Amino acid sequence: LTHLLVSNHHGNEYGAAEVALGFAEHLAEYPIDGIRVIIVPVLNTWGYDRRNRYEWANNRRFDPNRDYPGPCKSENYFGLASTEALANLVEEENIVASITLHTYWPAVVYPWGHSTHDTQTGYEDVYEQLAQLSTFKSNYTVGNAAEVIYPADGTFEDYAFWQHGTWSLLFELGFSHRPSKTDLDIMVQQNTPGLREFFVNAPTETAANHEFNGSCDVALRRFDLGIE
């Protein structure tokens, strides 16, 4: 049984990387029996090295967490080697459940989060339970991604669920893209227990029904602030 934790689609979100590394240290000391968690602490190394949200490739600037295909995005995806490699990993490793880490907008959210009014997947009870377990110590807001944050097309979370039935959550951590050392310690302490609870309690099989049967509303794209 293999799960995934990936941080820093956005290179400037340094607290997210520290939480990923802190959780890796925790798992090294306290493994979860029967579960392997693949951890990618920094996906967007180009942006991370330059304190930049975006990733640059082929003379273009990309937002990595808008670079996946999705129910309302049928073109202009996988412009980055990093996002395509992550998508391939999900398929090759048969990832059952995944978490992506971001800063800052303290919340834990789930699909559908793209440009639609039809936000329900049919698994709201499962997602709500997983989100509540993930926030039992942090007390972050939980809910649908489009409703709690804002709609966004081309995100990893929607892609992973839509394409593979992977149970995917997005964590928005803390209150700053550049937290202090004290704040970093708090973020790791607050979120490590919830991350563990998610991976321990996530379903052991991917979702059986993960197609999107709703309608897209491209007008909602104007609400994508591109700041999370």
pLDDT at residue 178 is higher than 90? no
Across the chain, what does the average pLDDT equal?
A: 96
pLDDT at residue 95 is higher than 90? yes
Tell me the mean pLDDT in the region 74-91.
97
Using 50, 70 and 90 to split pLDDT, how confident is the model at 91?
Answer: very high
Tell me the mean pLDDT in the region 191-219.
97
Chain position carrying tokens 């990936």: 6
Q: Which pTM does this prediction carry?
A: 0.96
pLDDT at residue 226 is higher than 90? no
Name the percent of the chain lying above pLDDT 70. Answer: 100
Using 50, 70 and 90 to split pLDDT, how confident is the model at 54?
Answer: very high
Using an 8 Å Cβ cutoff, are 53 and 228 in contact? no
Token digits for 220?
A: 């909602």
Which residue in 219, 215, 105, 114 sits closest to 160, CA to CA?
A: 114
Tell me the mean pLDDT in the region 33-56.
97
